[in-house]
Amino acid sequence: MIHLSLIGIGAGNPEHLSLQAIDAIGRCDVILIPHKGAQKDDLAQARRAICARVLDGDGPRLHEFALPERDPQIADYTARVTHWHDAIARVWQREICACLPQGGRVGFLVWGDPSLYDSTLRIAERLQSVMAVTLQVIPGITAIAALTAGHAIALNDVGGSVTITTGRRLRADGWPEGAQTVVVMLDQGGAFSAIAPQGIDIWWSAYAGMAQEIRLCGPLSQVGPRILEARAEARARHGWVMDIYLLRREMTAQGGRTD
């Protein structure tokens, strides 16, 4: 039997770890650390640093492995992601069996929270269909929490709703109908440029919660071009960039009232 712990580690700051997460890491026999290519080695290094900070010499061993990449030949987005997840699950099975042939406890450190725009839970479900796995999920601080804390803002207005979406959906569908506050994740870059900026403010963070965090905010019409420049510079400097942003439209701009 394999006991798999999906451990939310927050948005990159070791101090985001909960006591529950620290305890779960310490109980593992093996911690899996994936590589996403040389340009994203910072992500693997951050996982190593977290383990070094919370573990002593008798802690679990770290096992690093390479993740498969998405197949660009598959045109349909859903089919491409499904194919990718299937491939990752097969790699997980291979690596776990190699590390723990007699069973044991294995941990996977998940950025942010495992429930929010993360594939790890779906991959774990695939794993459970082919081998005996019990699953434990430890919640973590989300990138959304790191974003709002960094900018010292509330996620929602008084009595207002919040829509969480992706850059791909914002480009394809525009501003979500009836939304006042929109949080955009997994943006490949500048999806906010696809919407009319009038009456909208933006709070943007790259590497939210990490030492190299960058924050910009203000009216979208004024700050949008600066964000695009800062994002391009950050990608050139680090080889990768992860960002998130909150867009808020005044109710008066929608013909409603403010509280």
Q: How many angstroms separate the Cα of 68 from the Cα of each of 84, 90, 251?
A: 7, 10, 45
Alpha-helical runs (H) found in 175-257: 220-238
Low-confidence stretches of the chain (pLDDT beneath 70): 37-40, 251-259
What is d(CA 193, CA 203) in angstroms, rounded to the nearest whole number? 14
Q: Supply 22's token pair.
A: 């620290």
Q: Supply 221's token pair.
A: 């019409």
Domains, the chain, in order of start with CATH, read 2-141 (3.40.1010.10), 144-254 (3.30.950.10)
Show Cβ contacts of residue 150 under 8 Å, excluding neighbours closer than 6 positions. Answer: 205, 208, 209, 213, 215
Angle in degrees, 0-180, between the axes of helices 77-99 and 120-128, rounded to the nearest 10: 60
pLDDT at res. 168: 94
What would the pLDDT profile of 23-79 be if each residue is shown by its tens digit?
Answer: 999 999 999 999 876 555 777 888 888 888 888 777 899 999 998 988 999 999 899
pTM attached to this predicted model = 0.86
* Tally of CB atoms within 10 A around 58: 6
Alpha-helical runs (H) found in the chain: 19-27, 41-54, 77-99, 120-128, 143-151, 167-173, 220-238
Nearest Cα to 138, choosing from 241, 238, 10? 10
